Structure 1
Amino acid sequence: MNYKITVVALIALLGVGCNQEKNIETASESFTEKDLKMCENSKCPEVTINYVALFGDPEISEKINKKIKNFIFSSLLMGEDTIPTAKTIQEAATGFIEAYQADKAQFPDMAGEYFAEISVNEIYSSKELLCLEMRQYLFTGGAHGYGTTSFMNINPQTGEELSQKELFTDHKKFIAFAEKKFRSQQKITAEQAINDTKFWFENGEFYLPESVGFTQDSLIFIYNQYDIASYADGPIELKIAMKEAKPFLSIH
């Protein structure tokens, strides 16, 4: 199988995407079901995967690439499996397609064909932080598909993932600050309970999503469908300007 590779940023030539101190380079790669031999002469569900891959320092890039691929493998899991066993994207996509074919054989009148759209993009890069936005949207039958957006924050010097708590000097104080921003955005007064409107925060207490996205100008928190509200409400985004968040951050 041949990957379609488009180099997005090479440090030595363009100086975009990563910096020299990280000693890693960023490239954009893609994969579709058409790259599988099994789909050459038969119809397969659509599988579209666009993601970044890291090159340069072997140890650091390998760590990051493994995290990216594990997200892709997990996104394509079908059935009751929770831990991916695939070793390559081709293998993970093959498993997704074979699951569809088995379901179609068992339920020939099944309405709609499965499809999967997965993307991993670099949205922020500095000496201290590499932020990846990770999206997946799958349809595997039923009334509608389901998608999520999450973020992965990585120390570009080590390749290790940074937890949300590690990114803030005082996580509790930041959560209190973020709640005020959320209430203002959603028009919930300080006197109202957080769940007085459409939300269903557990135990009626405000909390942030598990991951935070960084851009040059903002911090982004995304509550996916069903996280704190109904599917019909769609993803709910809380955006905080970087200049307001900076006093709480442990990175700069």
Structure 2
Amino acid sequence: MNTRITVLALIALITVSCNQEKNIEFSPESFTEKELSICKNSKCPEITINYVEVFGDDEVSKKINKKIKNFIFSSLLMGEDSIPSAKTIQEAATNFIEAYNADKAQFPDMAGDYFAEISVNEIYNSPKHICFEMRQYLFTGGAHGYGTTSFLNLDPKTGDELTSKELFKSNKELVAFAENKFRLQQNIAKNQSINDTGFWFENEKFYLPESVGFTRDSLIFIYNQYDIASYADGPIELKIAMKEAAPFLSID
């Protein structure tokens, strides 16, 4: 009798645990300046935002959505503030438009209208790891616009960002392997300085960008414009096939 009660209690406990562990889901969302009342009767800078919203486990979803929204808010931030005060995408977009209107009023001959293109896409998803690709491209005056690509790697069970130590076994060994790949890609011989072909690596020492992306097939490193080369050189991408990268990974 006691054995039966124990078994039933164990089954109940497992059932409750399974029910508590909710899977998160992704929903594609979009926003443009046309949704704002401020743009109904006046011309506004073009703003195009495509992103994902996370649903499921309330606590985890809230954490992830906050990180995604903060990226969008920061991308639209104008002026000297380094920390966005906006609480919604609509508010962040309105602030961007108001900054443009103020600049246009001060400099009526300003060439070109401001615009912003922002995207957040889920590019890898497993039970232990989610990777988001985050892109932004803005024109806010000057000779040209400026864009960046970064990645956000998260633990889907907690919503917390995965550290380099949680992702890789040995950063030193990975950097050495990646340098060989980079030199082959850029036609830089082993006995040449890493900057001989015009790169800007500090102290002529190769290093990887802080942000790394994951897909099913590849490990992706992107040096944005001005990171290691001029604007004209554009973003520089280094891809390592996942089969080759696997020995360096701490996570599946």
Task: Normalising by structure 2, report the TM-score.
Answer: 0.91
Q: Which residue of 2 aligns with 1:249?
A: 249
Kindly indicate whether the alpha-carbon contact (under 8 Å) linking 1:120 and 1:135 is maintained by their aligned counterparts in 2: yes
Give the secondary structure class of the aligned counterpart of 2:195: coil
Residue 63 (structure 2) aligns with: 63
2:70 and 2:24 mapped to 1: Cα distance? 20
Distance in 2 separating the partners of 1:166 and 1:93: 35
Q: Write out per-residue CA displacement over residues 177-202 of structure 1, whole angstroms, 9 at most, x where no aligned residue.
A: 11111111101111001111110001
Structure 2 counterpart of 1:194, one-letter code? I
In structure 2, the residue matched to 1:110 is 110
Partner of 1:220: 220
Which residue identity lines up with residue 151 of structure 1 in the other structure? F
Q: Which runs of 5+ in 2 are unaligned?
A: 1-20
CA distance in 1, matches of 2:52, 2:66: 12
Contact 1:182 1:238 in 2 (8 A): yes
Aligned partner letter, 1:26: F
Shift of 1:166: 2.3
> 1:51, 1:78 → 2: CA distance?
21
The equivalent residue for 1:35 is 35
Equivalents in 2 of 1:113, 1:163: separation in Å? 39
Report if the CA contact (8 A) 1:22-1:127 is conserved.
Answer: no
The structure whose residues are more often helix, as a share, is 2
Alpha-carbon offset, residue 161 of structure 1: 0.5
Q: How many angstroms apart in 1 are the aligned matches of 2:116 and 2:143?
A: 16
Q: Among the aligned pairs, what percent are the same residue? A: 78
Q: CA deviation at 1:163?
A: 2.2
What value does the CA root-mean-square deviation take over the aligned residues?
1.1
Distance 1:135 1:22, change over 3 A: farther
Q: Is the 8 A contact 1:22 1:156 kept in 2?
A: no
Secondary structure at the residue paired with 2:199? coil
Instruction: Encode CA deviations 1:61-104: one digit per residue, 9 max, x unaligned.
Output: 00000000000000001111111111100110011000000000
Runs of 4+ with >2 A deviation: 163-166
Query: In structure 2, what is the equivalent of residue 169 of structure 1?
Result: 169
- Number of residue-to-residue matches in the alignment: 233
Structure number with bigger Rg: 2
Structure-1-length-normalised TM-score: 0.91
